[in-house]
Amino acid sequence: MALPTRTLGPLKVSAIGLGCMNLSQAYPPIPSDEDGGRLLNHALDAGVTFLDTAALYGDGHNERLLGSAVMHRRGEFTLASKCVLDVVDGKRTLDGRPERIKATCEAALTRLRTDVIDLYYMHRLDRNVPIEESMGAMADLVAEGKIRAIGLSEMSATTIERAHAVHTVSAVQSEYSLVVRNPEVAVLETCRRLGIGFVPFSPVARGLLSEGVTHDRYEQGDIRAAMPRFVGEKLAENLDRIAAFNRLAREADRTPAQLAIGWLLAQGDDIVPIPGTRSIAHLDEDIAATTIAFDSSVIAAAGALFPPNALTGARYAAPMQAQIDTELLAHEELA
């Protein structure tokens, strides 16, 4: 099955990718490797040609899973992974030093069972290392043939400009959805001016826009339990706001997840969302959004439901927010 395609710098990918983190961490229950491999291969069979992983996910487990499950189909997809955030000696680290970036890449290549990563992101900004130094290491990896293109994740317009001056940046990845509009402050405009593709993660807002969150009784280890907008009275207020969105989707004879992804796709041909899921049924639901022709009035109505800062509560708890370089919205709540 062939899906519509879009470009991220030199890379041609399906209009929707697959964020693979859910198969290794963050949203329990974590599937078995057999079930995770089945979902990955189903994604490829369904026409997804863009798989996104990271060294951090499951302390390397996610990269190992891709290495064992789909590398026999390496020519069928664009592979993205990430460095700077990593787990070293059992401890989560944020380290943008050139030597650490290169070491993380070497380990990733081994875990992934491949010779080259198509798109390699700096997962977060290490404020202790000038971005120019980190980008120098990334440029070296391109010159050595170990990566094909460079990406940045959750970085500001100013940082993107500085990085791009060292070496071409092909893609920027940040959280972006109907309810998280931070990239609209400055990042999207900067990416378009510089010819950089944009990859939204959490396009259905960690389940808020797919009817996947109805209460805050999460399983142990679920990252949403530590996110202010996903717990207590703040969550209750947010679910009340999202009820109107769910009604709008039903009136359009689509699922909320499809409308959320459709809205993102309608924001520009340079946008490639990467929803994540543990469910093949949900994966098929997400993929279908690439071929749905939404009426422009429905897309506009969805956007109007959620002006910037529509949700109550901070996006991240303070320690996680400290690692985010992307611009804040006016009057944005912080933990």
The answer to the question of residue 239 being in a domain is no
Is 121 strand, coil or helix? strand
Length of the chain: 335
Output the CA angle 112-113-114, nearest 5 degrees: 95
27 is catalytic: no
Range of the domain at 162: 5-207+268-293
Q: Residue 301: phi, psi to the nearest 5? A: -65, -40
According to DSSP, the residues that pair with 81 across neighbouring strands are 120
Instruction: Give pTM, 2 decimals.
Output: 0.97
Which CATH number covers residue 89?
Answer: 3.20.20.100
The answer to the question of residue 329 being in a domain is no
The answer to the question of residue 300 being in a domain is no
> Which tokens in the block code for residue 240?
């009340």
- Among residues 57, 120, 121, 316, the one annotated as catalytic is 57
pLDDT digits (tens, 9 = 90+) for 43-71: 999 999 999 999 999 999 999 999 999 99
Domain total for the chain?
A: 1
The answer to the question of residue 222 being in a domain is no
Q: How many CB atoms lie within 10 A of CB 297?
A: 9
* Torsion sign over Cα 264, 265, 270, 272: positive
The answer to the question of residue 137 being in a domain is yes
Give the whole-angstrom CA distance, residue 82 versus residue 150.
10
The answer to the question of residue 166 being in a domain is yes
pLDDT digits (tens, 9 = 90+) for 199-250: 999 999 999 999 999 999 999 999 999 999 999 999 999 999 999 999 999 9
pLDDT of residue 331: 85
pLDDT in tens, the chain (335 residues): 799 999 999 999 999 999 999 999 999 999 999 999 999 999 999 999 999 999 999 999 999 999 999 999 999 999 999 999 999 999 999 999 999 999 999 999 999 999 999 999 999 999 999 999 999 999 999 999 999 999 999 999 999 999 999 999 999 999 999 999 999 999 999 999 999 999 999 999 999 999 999 999 999 999 999 999 999 999 999 999 999 999 999 999 999 999 999 999 999 999 999 999 999 999 999 999 999 999 999 999 999 999 988 999 999 999 999 999 999 998 898 87
Position of tokens 């789909």? 70
Percentages of the chain per state (helix, strand, coil), in multiples of 5? 45, 15, 40
